Chains A and B, each alone.
Chain A
Amino acid sequence: MRDYILIAPILLPIAGALAAYLIGRRSKKARDCFADTVGICEFALCAVLLACVSSGREYALAVDEVCGRGLRLKLDGFRAVYALIAAVMWMMTTVFSNEYMGHYRNRNRYYLFTLLTLGATVGVFLSNDLFTTFIFFEIMSFTSYVMVVQDEKPGAMRAGETYIAVAVIGGMVMLMGLFLLENRLGTLNFDKLLSAAEQLPDRSDLYLPGALILTGFGAKAGMFPLHIWLPKAHPVAPAPASALLSGILTKAGVFGVLVLTSRVFLHDGLWGNVILALGTVTMVLGAVLAVFSVDLKRTLACSSMSQIGFILVGVGMQALLGNHNTLALWGTGLHMVNHSLIKLVLFVCAGVVYMNTHELDLNKIRGWGRNKPLLNVCFLMGALGIAGVPLWNGYVSKTLLHESIVEFTALAGSGAWIYKTVEWLFLISGGLTVAYMTKLYVAIFVEKPEKPVEKKPYMSVMSALAIAIPALILPVMGVFPSHIMASAARLMEAFMDPTLVWRDTLHAAVQWFSLENLKGALISISVGAAVYLLIIRPLLTRRDESGKKCYVNLWPSKLDLEELVYRPVIEKALPFLGALVCRILDNLTDWLTAALTHSLLRQKPIPPRVDGDHEPGDFIPHPSRSYTYQRISSSISYSLLLFGAGFCAAMVYLIIILIMRY
């Protein structure tokens, strides 16, 4: 099949990026309009493609000539949904950027790299071959780096360093995994991986390549212990870029994890447990960090990390539940979609705050949102969505994920207590989500500001639209789960488990709002209320000198994996050791030559020269400095001396031998 239409959503933004750059050299206004148009066209294109796919068609394209091994693209339900999400996010953030980026330097660069990243990201989601995925994945990593460091402040540069280092190291480790995987399976094509993996006599051969590839994708997804870039990069990147990083680039990493889980390790218990464990740690750690954080965007970034943990828990459950994993499939897919849309809303809201106040510290922006009903409502929609409150979209996906854990606990037998613990951690993390979102909401929209905020328009109509439209979608999705969410899940499920073709999906209407399902959400909300009232309000605030309450971050700053382990090892220890060994090797030949010229091949002394100049063609080193030494060392008496020393040593040796013998 050669459906060339599949190149269009990749090449359109790339061509648009170059065109926008050239236009931007002439007129900034035209460039902004053009970039918006590209975003909207991309959205329209992806929407049309999704419509075609949902009517049952699949597209595939193989371009064999390119990059030595050829690119393979495919469009099915999951990818169509995710391409559309990517397009939506880029459309909204690009529109918002017009105002947000208004006063930045180097905007041309920003638009160039944003649109390039869009092309690469869509490429990742359309790829049908890990080779192709890797190509677009690497392009995406590098182009998004420029988005992170856009404002070039020292903090941004440092965060960018972390980001690019994680991306490059992750990419290299992943590449090694791909080499091994291809060597063992003979293919990287998604359609053939499954049968190749099943025919392998010993599947344990696949764990090493699997782990290496997981490192690469997990680093991008923000999975523990490679999450370090997330809380650093988001606060310093421009808000539209943070929305993209958090909402969609992390999902590109999750996409890779999904491919591994569904194609290479289908229904593999060990793999499922590893993903589940990493996912649980990520989920809890992210939520805890978010509760402690006092920086608006850092809180949202940690929240992203935590939500990725939720998604990974779902992925782990997919593998563990085997043939009964439909709930987990739906939960994972929908939580990805929900998180993307919610983070779009929340980060753009944060962008509005920053655009006006140039502050992200909760103590400085406290109360800034009062009397701003539009922003208030939009932020609230996002907060309720992510907190998993019934009637909002997050509730649906979290409930599905929760149900899948409950289902497996019932099946697990003797190890059930482990999964019971995971279930409780899941609910508690949900509670922490409620707590930190409440903290943000109360701080920005409820508490009284230190000095009255002057009334003036705080965002343009276009920006308002870019926030309000996605914010409105969230409750609509949550109120009618059987319509929008279920049909999206039906589109996505086949990608996440190819064996679903032969099994039944969830046909019976799910009782979304039954008491059983509401229970989990209610537990989470109660935990959240308790944490907020008993921990955040009393323990995480202090009264400053003037007696005002302010938020403090009590998380010990020493406890930072990056500063504690990664940077010392990678920046200092390893290069030092490597360079030490290499310097010795590097000079080995020279030292050998030097040793020879000073011993066996000693040169005759040359009379010292009066003039210090060298003649061209005179290659013998100037003797003046070591002249005296040379005079001595080349004299007959010196040679005799050395001969005598050697003779003495030999005699001593002989005497010792004689003594030993008798």
Chain B
Amino acid sequence: MDKNYLLLIPVLLPAAAALTLSARPMRQRGPRDVFMAAILTAELIFTALCAAVVDGDVVVARLTDELYLTLRLDGLGKIFSLLVAFMWLMSGLFSHEYTVENPRRYCAFLLLSEGALMTLCYAGNYLTLYTGFELMTVLSTPLALHNQTEGARRGGVKYLLYSIFGACLGLLGFFTLRVYGVTTDFTPGGVMDLNKLTGHEGFVLTAAFLTVVGFGAKAGMFPLHAWLPAAHPEAPAGASALMSGVITKAGILSMIRVIYYEFGTALLRGTWVQYALLALSLVTVFLGSMLAYKERLFKKRLAYSTVSQVSYVVFGLALMTPVAFTGAILHVAVHSAIKDALFFTAGAVILKTGKKDVRELRGIGKEMPVTMWCFTICSLGLVGIPPLGGFVSKWYLAEGSLSSGIPIFSWLGPVVLLISALLTAGYLFSVTVRAFLPGADFDYESVQKREPTWWITLPLLALTVLTALLGLFPGIVCDLAAAVAGTVC
């Protein structure tokens, strides 16, 4: 049997585990969490194994001769799938202590959405990607709805509607590509058929733009970003971390596939589509940071921060230069790690103290030192303070932007990124300062240790170390990304 069939394991394993979980009533917390940890670890191992072994693609199901589902592993898929598996493991560990009501449902949908994401990462053609995208939307909505409060319900529905609207736009791209493309299999550099294209550029460009904006809904790109701040505050912290840190990146992956592997940079470069995307991404970068700066709910602040940070990546992609592409991919990894850690912190604080507003966090650093130290280091990374993660990716983005030669945006981009970094510093350091420097009149007697157990601090520490490593030695991710960039740009 073809070794490429290995790709099915990471896709099906979580789904199978989820079914087991729902069929066999694992009511006891202990066995269930051990089971979760085991499955998620196995998933990570299999993903790594696939990344090492698999080379090529495998057709999974044929609907008709031209419509088929196919899985394939390329450089991009490797980076994203490893990221997904790792973050899911972290969140799985975190969820042990961060208890929710009805944990079996929570765990089952956590696993199911991981399977859907893996489909997306391994997708070899547009149809598979679309399937994965819709599956992921549907299967992750219960995570957003999980707490069943009024806010959660509203946020969850908003998430669902925005995602489905975005996916509909994505479908438009699929139809266009079926007509004007040679194939819909992902091909570095694009699949457009130049003969058919002549005379219909305007229509195809519009379709390309709408497709990218549609997938951008998942990545929280303006104007379809509003689900993020609505859905996050009420979801369980483990789920918010994944939605913010990883699921938004699924939107990014879809955008990369559409821009670089379907429509192709040759078609889009220098057109209004590129400028519009650059403009939208910069608006989002500023908007997210500004509103995060003004926001007082801790988790909502982080959600707005995600809106801003993910658009750094979109900006890098829209520039369509190899250096910016490398920076964008690096930022995907960095932001995933950091945002997961930040949401874990917010979750740990809510779990241990019930405080949701950043103004209540005075002196929390004395009560939960390890947690808040991780928060501080990660937020330094997010602002882009060297030598931590965000710094190098931002440097690449700015370098790619300035050398791209695009009028106005080439210098406006870095300026907006830096203003946003400034606002990021404003909304994250104020938390740190309040946490660790409560003031001379602080009542040190009232401090009691509230540090969470290893189930929370271990993932936090791992993510913090990852943030530092990505800053100090970004080479591994950068080399992979640069190799991909070499083929597609």
Contacts and interface: CB of A to CB of B under 8 A. Distances in A.
Interface in B424-477: 425, 429, 433, 437-440, 442, 444, 471-475
Contacts of B419: 172
Contacts of A169: 422
A135 B440 contact: no
Contacts of B383: 168
Interface string A192-205: 00000000000000
B385 interface: yes
B475 A183 contact: no
Given A154-B439, A157-B437, A135 B386 contact: yes
Interface centre among B225, B293, B422, B442 (most CB of A within 10 A): B422
Interface centre among A134, A164, A172, A575 (most CB of B within 10 A): A172
A176 B415 contact: yes
A619 B439 contact: no
Nearest to A179: B398
A134 B414 contact: no
B222 interface: yes
B291 A139 contact: no
Interface string B338-373: 000000000000000000000000000000000000
A585 B380 contact: no
Contact of B421 (A152, A172, A582, A614): A172
A67 interface: yes
B127 interface: no
B418 interface: yes
Interface of A: 65-69, 105, 134-135, 138-139, 142, 149, 151-154, 157, 160, 164, 168-169, 172-173, 175-176, 179-180, 182-183, 575, 578-579, 582-583, 585-590, 614, 616, 619
A585 B392 contact: no
A68 B396 contact: yes
B429 A585 contact: no
* Top-9 shortest CB links A-B: A135-B386, A68-B392, A183-B402, A582-B290, A172-B418, A179-B398, A578-B290, A582-B287, A153-B440
Contacts of B475: 65, 68
Contacts of B414: 176, 179
Contacts of A66: 387, 472-473
Contacts of B403: 183
B386 A152 contact: no
A179 B402 contact: yes
B399 A183 contact: yes
26 contacts: A67-B386, A67-B387, A67-B472, A67-B474, A135-B391, A138-B385, A149-B433, A152-B437, A152-B440, A153-B440, A154-B440, A157-B433, A168-B425, A169-B422, A172-B419, A175-B418, A176-B414, A176-B418, A180-B402, A575-B293, A579-B293, A582-B290, A585-B222, A585-B283, A586-B225, A619-B157
Given A67-B386, A164-B429, 15 more contacts: A67-B471, A69-B392, A139-B385, A152-B442, A168-B383, A173-B418, A175-B398, A179-B399, A183-B399, A183-B402, A582-B291, A585-B287, A586-B287, A589-B223, A614-B150
Contacts of A172: 418-419, 421-422
Contacts of B418: 172-173, 175-176
B395 interface: yes
B280 to A, nearest CB: 11
Contact of B395 (A68, A160, A575): A68
Contact of B439 (A152, A578, A586, A590): A152
B29 interface: no
A585 B285 CA distance: 12
A588 B223 contact: yes
B93 interface: no
Contacts of B291: 579, 582-583, 586
A334 B299 CA distance: 53
Interface in B402-423: 402-403, 411, 414-415, 418-419, 421-422
A168 B422 CA distance: 7
B331 to A, nearest CB: 12
B335 interface: no
A586 B294 CA distance: 13
Contacts of A139: 385-387
Given A152-B438, A175-B418, A176-B415, A582 B392 contact: no
B447 to A, nearest CB: 12
A587 B226 CA distance: 8
A139 B380 CA distance: 10
Contacts of A588: 223
B402 A138 contact: no
A159 to B, nearest CB: 12
A642 to B, nearest CB: 28
B440 A151 contact: yes
B380 A142 contact: yes
